[in-house]
Amino acid sequence: MSELSGGLESFFAAETARPEVQVVVSERFRGEDGQALAWRLQPVTAEDMQRLWAAGNADGGSGLVLRLLARAVVYPDLQDAALQDSYGVLGAEELLLRMLSPGEYGVLLAAFEKQNLRPEMPELVRDAKN
Protein backbone atom coordinates (compact mmCIF):
# COMPACT_ATOMS: atom_id res chain seq x y z
CA MET A 1 0.00 0.00 0.00
CA SER A 2 1.42 3.35 -1.03
CA GLU A 3 1.71 6.15 1.54
CA LEU A 4 -0.35 8.26 -0.83
CA SER A 5 -3.29 5.88 -0.77
CA GLY A 6 -4.10 6.91 2.80
CA GLY A 7 -5.23 10.34 1.64
CA LEU A 8 -1.85 12.01 1.86
CA GLU A 9 -2.57 13.78 -1.42
CA SER A 10 -5.17 15.78 0.49
CA PHE A 11 -2.21 17.59 2.05
CA PHE A 12 -0.62 18.54 -1.28
CA ALA A 13 -0.28 22.26 -1.92
CA ALA A 14 -2.68 22.26 -4.86
CA GLU A 15 -5.37 20.70 -2.68
CA THR A 16 -4.93 23.04 0.27
CA ALA A 17 -4.65 26.43 -1.37
CA ARG A 18 -6.28 29.21 0.62
CA PRO A 19 -8.07 31.85 -1.43
CA GLU A 20 -7.62 35.59 -1.28
CA VAL A 21 -10.26 37.49 0.66
CA GLN A 22 -11.78 40.82 -0.18
CA VAL A 23 -12.91 43.43 2.31
CA VAL A 24 -14.21 46.96 1.97
CA VAL A 25 -12.08 48.76 4.52
CA SER A 26 -13.70 52.15 4.04
CA GLU A 27 -16.19 53.96 1.87
CA ARG A 28 -13.48 56.62 1.36
CA PHE A 29 -11.72 54.54 -1.29
CA ARG A 30 -13.94 54.53 -4.38
CA GLY A 31 -13.49 53.37 -7.94
CA GLU A 32 -14.34 55.30 -11.07
CA ASP A 33 -17.91 53.97 -10.84
CA GLY A 34 -18.31 55.48 -7.36
CA GLN A 35 -18.46 52.10 -5.65
CA ALA A 36 -16.32 51.38 -2.59
CA LEU A 37 -13.19 49.46 -3.51
CA ALA A 38 -12.44 46.14 -1.86
CA TRP A 39 -8.96 45.50 -0.57
CA ARG A 40 -7.57 42.04 -1.38
CA LEU A 41 -5.60 39.99 1.10
CA GLN A 42 -3.64 36.86 0.36
CA PRO A 43 -3.06 34.31 3.08
CA VAL A 44 0.29 34.33 4.85
CA THR A 45 2.23 31.29 5.94
CA ALA A 46 4.11 30.39 9.08
CA GLU A 47 7.23 30.84 6.95
CA ASP A 48 6.18 34.44 6.19
CA MET A 49 5.68 35.04 9.89
CA GLN A 50 9.10 33.65 10.81
CA ARG A 51 10.89 35.70 8.15
CA LEU A 52 9.09 38.91 9.08
CA TRP A 53 9.69 38.31 12.77
CA ALA A 54 13.39 37.70 12.17
CA ALA A 55 13.67 40.73 9.88
CA GLY A 56 12.08 43.03 12.43
CA ASN A 57 13.37 41.54 15.64
CA ALA A 58 15.16 44.81 16.44
CA ASP A 59 11.82 46.24 17.61
CA GLY A 60 11.24 43.28 19.90
CA GLY A 61 8.68 41.85 17.51
CA SER A 62 6.15 44.57 18.37
CA GLY A 63 5.61 45.46 14.71
CA LEU A 64 5.06 41.87 13.60
CA VAL A 65 1.30 42.20 13.11
CA LEU A 66 1.77 45.32 10.99
CA ARG A 67 4.45 43.62 8.88
CA LEU A 68 2.22 40.55 8.39
CA LEU A 69 -0.72 42.72 7.45
CA ALA A 70 1.36 44.68 4.92
CA ARG A 71 2.60 41.37 3.50
CA ALA A 72 -0.96 40.07 3.12
CA VAL A 73 -2.38 43.08 1.25
CA VAL A 74 -2.15 42.57 -2.51
CA TYR A 75 -4.58 45.33 -3.53
CA PRO A 76 -3.97 48.16 -3.32
CA ASP A 77 -0.30 47.60 -4.08
CA LEU A 78 1.32 48.97 -0.94
CA GLN A 79 4.75 48.74 -2.60
CA ASP A 80 3.75 51.21 -5.32
CA ALA A 81 6.07 54.23 -5.13
CA ALA A 82 3.45 56.66 -6.42
CA LEU A 83 0.96 55.54 -3.78
CA GLN A 84 3.59 55.87 -1.04
CA ASP A 85 4.61 59.29 -2.37
CA SER A 86 1.01 60.48 -2.33
CA TYR A 87 0.95 59.89 1.44
CA GLY A 88 4.52 61.10 2.00
CA VAL A 89 5.83 57.80 3.33
CA LEU A 90 8.37 55.16 2.43
CA GLY A 91 7.40 51.52 2.90
CA ALA A 92 4.25 49.42 2.98
CA GLU A 93 3.92 49.43 6.76
CA GLU A 94 4.19 53.18 7.02
CA LEU A 95 1.70 53.53 4.19
CA LEU A 96 -0.90 51.43 6.00
CA LEU A 97 -0.50 53.50 9.14
CA ARG A 98 -0.83 56.79 7.28
CA MET A 99 -3.61 55.68 4.93
CA LEU A 100 -6.04 54.20 7.40
CA SER A 101 -7.92 55.47 10.41
CA PRO A 102 -7.81 53.26 13.52
CA GLY A 103 -11.27 51.90 12.67
CA GLU A 104 -10.33 51.14 9.07
CA TYR A 105 -7.14 49.46 10.25
CA GLY A 106 -9.29 47.37 12.60
CA VAL A 107 -11.54 46.25 9.72
CA LEU A 108 -8.49 45.20 7.70
CA LEU A 109 -6.95 43.44 10.69
CA ALA A 110 -10.20 41.56 11.41
CA ALA A 111 -10.27 40.28 7.81
CA PHE A 112 -6.62 39.23 8.14
CA GLU A 113 -7.32 37.40 11.40
CA LYS A 114 -10.34 35.62 9.96
CA GLN A 115 -8.28 34.46 6.98
CA ASN A 116 -5.10 33.47 8.79
CA LEU A 117 -5.99 32.43 12.33
CA ARG A 118 -8.21 29.73 13.69
CA PRO A 119 -11.71 31.19 14.06
CA GLU A 120 -11.50 31.15 17.83
CA MET A 121 -7.93 32.51 17.97
CA PRO A 122 -8.83 36.23 18.34
CA GLU A 123 -11.01 35.39 21.34
CA LEU A 124 -8.25 33.27 22.85
CA VAL A 125 -5.79 36.16 22.39
CA ARG A 126 -8.22 38.62 23.99
CA ASP A 127 -8.86 36.25 26.89
CA ALA A 128 -5.13 35.80 27.43
CA LYS A 129 -4.63 39.58 27.55
CA ASN A 130 -7.34 40.03 30.22
Q: List strands edge to edge, sheet with 39-41.
A: 21-23, 39-41, 73-75
- Residue 85 pLDDT level (bands cut at 50, 70, 90): very high
- Residue 120 pLDDT level (bands cut at 50, 70, 90): low
CA-CA-CA-CA dihedral for 78, 121, 118, 95, to nearest 10: 0
Is the backbone peptide bond immediately before 119 cis, with ω within 30 degrees of 0? no
Domains and CATH numbers, the chain: 20-118 (3.30.2220.30)
Quick one: pLDDT at residue 119? 58
Task: Name the nearest CA neighbour of 94 among 72, 116, 115, 69.
Answer: 69
- Alpha carbons 92 and 64: distance in angstroms, whole number: 13
How confident is the model over 44-73, as a mean pLDDT? Answer: 82
Please check the confidence at residue 124 and state whether its pLDDT lies above 80.
no
Choice between 101 and 4, residue whose per-residue pLDDT is larger: 101
pTM of the shown model:
0.77
- Residue 1 pLDDT level (bands cut at 50, 70, 90): very low
How confident is the model over 82-93, as a mean pLDDT? Answer: 97
Q: What is the pLDDT of residues 96-116, one digit of tens each?
A: 999 999 999 999 999 999 998
- Alpha carbons 86 and 60: distance in angstroms, whole number: 30
Quick one: pLDDT at residue 61? 59
